[in-house]
Chains A and B, each alone.
Chain A
């Protein structure tokens, strides 16, 4: 490994470059498309050289697409808003619920503790439609169909187990003596929890929150089944947009760029914790 021949080094360089091209080209190309007019997009052969335009983004943001045949209404901003609401609220609720539970599972060996922890984990692995299809019927009956609250509730199945298992690992890493020392110094359990345990697990909590936000944001099937147009996030909305806008490919590309930008940005932020989070703590990054 230490000594590489020039040939081997060259081969490695070529292979890594090929991998980079394959995995980054689609993102790059869609980004280009989002700055092109329809005429540029439809030109054969495709070209890297064109006059960039912000029209696609303007149309998405104003919600109005002016075409020769008239003005077309676009609901994309609503989708974007929905994505933010659903993801943020789901993560916030999951944090409130899962962080104390993670602490309990990390610190105490109580009856059924492992069973409960694994039950929560198993929700992550079951086929989502198995639950979602009967749920459409129930949600109609109890009035949760097509509501933010109903969706946020269901989103807990994605965000909660993730946060629980990542944060649990971080709590386990805190020496119990440190917590005991604070109790002995005269502080109640609650004070200890908020002043010692939570601050010391903060990196893990932040990483879990970012990751679960990404997963919530990227979710497709939950909202596809349970939400109508006005509550749909970008993942579902963008697809509907394709059918609605017909051949407005520039706007589709711009919508995709806007939709994936937040998760890509967060991923770069949370880079350090991604590996650990993706493997639910099985691999330290």
Chain B
């Protein structure tokens, strides 16, 4: 057997070339596979940095001769600017109200549909449809229904005695109206996530509680709700992220109006850019929004990852 000579020879070569050869392709493959996707999307950082730069300029498209670097002036001006604080206020109000209402409604409907019966599953499927409607088109649909001349909803509230209810065209009810549309579109999102969460909960605690005759309210607040918490957290963070950035519904419904009633962050930036051609201010506004969403998305991703890991685990079983 020449194995001995062989191993001696091999040891000798190894000593001579300590660096190990590797199959080259193997090592580059992952980069090769992921690079195209990255290349097509990373250019996004260019406009992003441009936006940072713009936010430090005095830059009005209508007055190009005034263009100049002003450092943090755009941001500092916000501190004493009522219009900016109004944007913050209306955006937060919009976010808090939509997320809270959608959470309560979504959770309620999910609990109603918790048992997997044929009727419940059909209802869940139908309730999902508004989520598939483009938010801009949803706004248009509600606009048609709330038209003061022929809108069916205007007619219905008129029957209830509110003859001069002007929905989105009245500053006092505009916020209510766009929130209504948001609730219509996005409650199904929370509902379907929480329904999946509810149905994936282990059965034993509930069976034990039922046997022991524990009151249903106690079961809900002390067992169901805590176990559902990760789903609730992920769903509401996700919604918060989208809600604070809401543009489609508000813009399609009122273009930020009536007056300046609904100048939420992105709508206000859009108006600042295209209507007032104030690029610097628009960019600074968006940077403020970006900071908020960056913070929220970090919290969200942590929760989401935990949930995702668990979902993979469940699937593997």
Direct chain A–B contact by Cβ atoms under 8 Å: yes
CB pair A110 B30 closer than 8 Å: yes
Q: Knowing A42-B150, A252-B140 are in contact, say whether A283-B197 is a contact too (CB < 8 A).
A: yes
Most buried by A among B42, B120, B128: B128
Identify which of residues 104-120 in chain B touch chain A, using a CB-to-CB cut-off of 8 Å. 105, 108-109, 112-115, 120
The smallest beta-carbon distance between A203 and chain B, in angstroms, is 12
Residue A280 CB within 8 A of the other chain: yes
CB pair B279 A133 closer than 8 Å: yes
CB pair A281 B308 closer than 8 Å: yes
Query: Number of contacting residues on B, CB 8 A?
Result: 100
CB-contact partner of A279 in B234, B279, B293, under 8 A: B234
Q: Looking across the interface, which residue of chain B has its beta carbon closest to that of A121? A: B301
CB pair B134 A218 closer than 8 Å: yes
Q: Knowing A97-B40, A283-B197 are in contact, say whether A104-B297 is a contact too (CB < 8 A).
A: no
The smallest beta-carbon distance between B71 and chain A, in angstroms, is 19
CB-contact partner of B145 in A29, A118, A164, under 8 A: A29
Residue A157 CB within 8 A of the other chain: yes
Residue A105 CB within 8 A of the other chain: yes
The smallest beta-carbon distance between B287 and chain A, in angstroms, is 7
The smallest beta-carbon distance between A98 and chain B, in angstroms, is 5
CB-contact partner of A129 in B123, B138, B247, B297, under 8 A: B247
CB pair A41 B150 closer than 8 Å: yes
Chain A residues whose CB sits within 8 angstroms of the CB of B286 once the complex forms: 127, 129-130, 133
Q: Knowing A133-B51, A220-B252 are in contact, say whether A125-B140 is a contact too (CB < 8 A).
A: no
Chain B residues whose CB sits within 8 angstroms of the CB of A285 once the complex forms: 196
Interface of B is mostly: helix
Question: Beyond the given A100-B34, A130-B51, A225-B270, could you list 20 further A-B residue pairs with CB under 8 A, ordered by the A residue number?
Answer: A19-B112, A19-B123, A24-B126, A41-B150, A93-B40, A101-B33, A107-B30, A118-B301, A127-B293, A133-B47, A164-B37, A169-B311, A218-B134, A274-B192, A275-B196, A281-B312, A282-B308, A283-B200, A283-B231, A284-B196
* A interface list, Cβ under 8 A from B: 1-2, 12, 15-16, 19-20, 22-24, 26-27, 29-30, 33, 41-46, 93, 96-98, 100-101, 103-105, 107-108, 110, 113, 116, 118-123, 125-135, 137-138, 153, 156-157, 160-161, 164, 169, 172-173, 189, 214, 217-221, 224-225, 234-236, 238-239, 242, 249, 252-253, 256, 259-260, 263-264, 266-268, 271, 274-276, 278-285
* B interface list, Cβ under 8 A from A: 25, 29-31, 33-34, 36-38, 40-42, 44, 46-48, 50-51, 54, 105, 108-109, 112-115, 120, 123, 125-138, 140-145, 147, 149-150, 152, 155, 184, 187-189, 192-193, 196-197, 200, 206, 210, 231, 234-235, 238, 241, 245, 247-248, 251-252, 265-266, 269-270, 273, 279, 282-283, 286-287, 289-290, 293-294, 296-297, 300-301, 304, 307-308, 311-312, 314-316
